[in-house]
Amino acid sequence: MVNQEVLVKKERSFKKPIIIILMVLIIAIILFLIFYLGAIFGSVQVNPSVNYTNPVIEIMNEYKARNISINQSAIIDQAEEEFDESYIDFVLFAMGAWKLHNPPLSKETPKIEFVMIDSGDVEEVFNAEVIEGTINTDKGMISNEDIVIRTTKKEVIGAMLVEDMEDYMEKSVREGRTTIEMIANKVKLGTKGYLQMYQDITGEELI
């Protein structure tokens, strides 16, 4: 009887680590499915019916049409006065925000808050929601935002004036002129596509 009890105890103690290993493997597989397969099957293509035009280029084209010599300082001043949702739409499109998507089997859309700073104070706030590859921007704050981007109107306009906007934004983030604050947890950010977007913008992985 004593030997049987010892054998049963040994068998139970042997089963415990196997169960723990199996649980760890199952969790690892679930995380893999969430991050990688979720990103693949949840991804969308940009909506071809939406045309994201560069508002600053449009101002420059107006100058050309009126035979006015292009003065970059004057263009920046005019762009700051006319700054609206279309500027946020374009810069987010250029940053790859159209690739963001709902997590698999979820109706929770990606939401971004875009805060314009002037001399250290909040000047204006915009919010953007990505629905099936379309960026929808409005004025004001938004609830349950995934990330908050803080920058200045001049910085956004400056990015629109250069040929390599991706390189400009990477330098802007690296040098602190633009900040990206992750609000949602890493799992949610991963399933919505933000981790890849962050890497594309900054050239670095989100730790």
Report yes or no on 118 lying in a domain: yes
Q: What is the CATH number of the domain that holds 66?
A: 3.30.1050.10
Rounded (10°) angle between helices 72-82 and 153-161 = 130
Question: Lowest mean pLDDT: which of 45-54, 154-163, 167-176, 196-205?
Answer: 45-54
Report yes or no on 4 lying in a domain: no
Report yes or no on 40 lying in a domain: no
Using the Cα atoms of residue 168, residue 170, residue 174 and residue 177 in order, give the sign of their dihedral. positive
Closest CA to 195 of 106, 87, 96, 89: 96
* Count: domains in the chain: 1
How far apart are alpha carbons 83 and 104 in whole angstroms?
Answer: 35
The percent of residues in the chain predicted with pLDDT above 70, rounded, is 76
How far apart are alpha carbons 195 and 188 in whole angstroms?
Answer: 10
Question: Lowest mean pLDDT: which of 39-53, 170-184, 188-202?
Answer: 39-53
The residue range of the domain holding 157 is 55-202
Q: Kindly report, residue by residue over 69-126, the tens digit of the pLDDT.
A: 888 899 999 999 999 999 999 999 988 899 999 998 889 999 999 999 987 787 899 9
Q: What's the predicted TM-score (pTM) here?
A: 0.75
Report yes or no on 167 lying in a domain: yes
* Structure-block tokens of residue 188: 């949610």
Report yes or no on 46 lying in a domain: no
CA 63 to chain centre: 34
Report yes or no on 9 lying in a domain: no
pLDDT at 43 over 60: no
